[in-house]
Amino acid sequence: MTMKLDSHDPRFSGIEPFASKLWLASPTMHGDEQRWVQDAFDKNWITTAGENINEVERQIAEYIGVNYAVGLSCGTAALHLAIRLAGEKLYGIPKVGHGSLEGKRVFASDMTFDATVNPITYEGGEPVFIDTERGTWNMDPVALEKAFEIYPEVKLIVVAHLYGTPGKIDEIKAVADKHGALIVEDAAESLGATYKGKQTGTFGDFAVISFNGNNLLFIKGEKVAKAA
């Protein structure tokens, strides 16, 4: 994205765009993509079901090491479903037209893509942003513990692994367990990255990966399968 900063807006005074940029990964094709698209056309599986979807769900669950995976249209949709379901699990199924997090605070990564956090507000919740630590550029477990001192009632944490680098997810999980909170793990950018030998996407109560061309989907099984 290129953006021209408004030189009359005092908030931007003194800020210059970076001269050189570090680009995100761009999409790469590996030879068979067009063939599989054609295969879906040929078999008339241009819908929400089909053998290719079943197979990608099976393969991804096996690769990451979880019981089940559910394919959705994108990571953004998966995060919304995961956060909705986490809210229902914690606070019960809301009335029609209401969000599952109404009136509830949720702890969230403060440096991430906005799809990590948006569904908290779609479901009527209030994100409370947790500082990032320097080592991994992800949620700081120390700041998270501090946040529980201020808001001990919080029961949900949405945490991202940014740019394919896992956050300190075992420490974050220890804090969550101590306070009886659930975790939605946004591993959209970190498919294939491991933390202490374990795949990201296996730590949260719900987890999401993305196949967006510039990210490196699945929702961790059991609970979703039961709720769906």
Ligand X SMILES: Cc1ncc(COP(=O)(O)O)c(C=O)c1O
Beta pairing, strands 156-160 & 182-186: parallel
Burial of residue 198, with CB atoms counted within 10 A of its CB: 0-12 exposed, 13-18 middle, 19 or more buried: middle
Which pairs with CB-CB distance under 8 Å and at least 24 residues apart come from 55-61?
A: 57/218, 60/209, 60/217, 60/218, 61/218, 61/221
Phi, psi for 71 (deg, rounded to 5): -85, 130
CB of 20 to ligand X, least distance (A): 22
Nearer to ligand X, 76 or 132 (CB): 76
Stretch that binds ligand X, among 10-18, 68-76, 137-145, 219-227 (CB under 6 A): 68-76
Residue 193 interacting with ligand X (CB under 6 A): no
CB of 116 to ligand X, least distance (A): 5
Residues that bind ligand X (rule: CB under 6 A) add up to a total of 15
CB of 109 to ligand X, least distance (A): 8
Residue 138 interacting with ligand X (CB under 6 A): no
Residue 160 interacting with ligand X (CB under 6 A): yes
Instruction: Please give the Cα distance from 120 to 178 (Å, whole number).
Output: 22
Residue 115 interacting with ligand X (CB under 6 A): yes
- List CB contacts of 70: < 8 A, sequence separation 6 or more: 57, 78, 81, 217, 218, 219, 221, 224, 225, 228
Residue 212 interacting with ligand X (CB under 6 A): yes
DSSP assignment of 166-218 equals: ---HHHHHHHHHHTT-EEEEE-TT-TT-EETTEETTSSSSEEE----TT----
- Sign of CA pseudo-dihedral 108, 110, 111, 112: positive
Q: Which residue's beta carbon is nearest to the bound ligand X?
A: 75
Stretch that binds ligand X, among 51-59, 113-121, 130-138, 148-156 (CB under 6 A): 113-121
> Which of 100, 112, 132, 199 touches ligand X (CB under 6 A)?
112
Look up tokens 């987890």; give the residue.
Answer: 207
Nearer to ligand X, 129 or 148 (CB): 129
CB of 72 to ligand X, least distance (A): 9
> Which of 215, 216, 218, 219 touches ligand X (CB under 6 A)?
215
> Which of 181, 210, 220, 223 touches ligand X (CB under 6 A)?
210
Residues within the interface to ligand X (CB under 6 A):
74-76, 79, 112-113, 115-116, 160, 186, 188-189, 210, 212, 215
